A and B are shown apart, each in its own frame.
Chain A
Amino acid sequence: MFGLLEDAGFKRVRSTIVPGFAFRKESTRDAAEGYGVKAVLLTAQKPTT
């Protein structure tokens, strides 16, 4: 998603991992870990010109 924001023209793209995010069900959590699934907080700005 970071790359998609930059490709669209956004500037000052920042990404931080959301601490504490997890799926509630163990089976989903295990599968998600295998794929490196994370929650992130993304910020970006549209250029002024």
Chain B
Amino acid sequence: MTDVAPLHAEEQAPLEGVIKGEVLRMYQEVAEHPEGEFHFYHGRQAAEMFGYEREWLDRAPPGAVASFAGVGNPHLRSRLQAGEVVLDLGSGAGLDSIIAGWQVGPTGRVIGVDLNPTMCRKAEAHAAASGVRMACHEGRMEDIPLPDASVDVVISNGVINLSFRKRTVIRELFRLLKPGGRLSITDIVSAKQLSQSIVNDPKLWAS
């Protein structure tokens, strides 16, 4: 997908706001009503499909597992080490943060960033119940509220595709990683430019 949808700037700004609202609504719905039907697989079924270890899913709080809405498994290549600082971009209900926290151990820490403050509080509660040090910040991925060179590893799962400004998001990740820092992200890409009807449909964009 390209960085910015092919719209004039004056058309894009209000649409971006509508899409942000739809993204907030949809993922809050997954968190609050995980038994519902969505465009995407979610919960334990999705996590198992992507190769999450059963031990992780058995050990994590059921609410974190049920609300999982990722598109893959960033832990397969994250190579996390004890003591590292991890950013989970778009931390949602916290399952990926918890798994990362178990890997970096008590000398490491996990920072979540999510658009939705309710999800942040939920992720922190799930992490605390899992023995993981996690602080979640409400924030936009295009303007991440963290200092330069403050993170060893970025993980993210199905989030960056939701942004209208992907180039800005990637620059932010570069800025906040320490020299030698790594990222391991799973996300959705398309081989062809999406049609304007899809770009203009907040529900489709958010899914």
Docked complex: B178-202 residues within 8 A CB-CB of A: 178-192, 194, 198
The total of chain B residues at the interface (CB under 8 A) is: 43
In the complex, are the beta carbons of B73 and A1 less than 8 A apart? no
Whether a CB of chain A sits under 8 angstroms from the CB of B207 is yes
Say which residue of A18, A28, A35, A46 sits within 8 Å of B186 (CB atoms): A18
In the complex, are the beta carbons of B186 and A40 less than 8 A apart? yes
In the complex, are the beta carbons of B39 and A42 less than 8 A apart? no
- Name which of B13-21, B126-134, B166-174 contacts chain A: B166-174
In the complex, are the beta carbons of A36 and B192 less than 8 A apart? yes
In the complex, are the beta carbons of A43 and B183 less than 8 A apart? yes
Q: A20-B49, A21-B71, A41-B77 are known contacts. Are A9 and B38 too (CB-CB below 8 A)?
A: no
B73 neighbours in A (Cβ, 8 Å): 18, 41
In the complex, are the beta carbons of B187 and A45 less than 8 A apart? no
Docked complex: A1-49 residues within 8 A CB-CB of B: 1, 4-5, 7-10, 14, 18, 20-25, 28, 31-32, 34-49
A41 neighbours in B (Cβ, 8 Å): 72-74, 76-77, 184-186
B residues at A contact (CB < 8 Å): 1, 3, 37-41, 49-50, 71-74, 76-77, 158, 160, 166-167, 170-171, 173-174, 177-192, 194, 198, 204, 207
Other contacts beyond A35-B191, A38-B189: 7, CB < 8 A: A28-B207, A36-B192, A39-B189, A40-B189, A45-B182, A46-B174, A46-B178
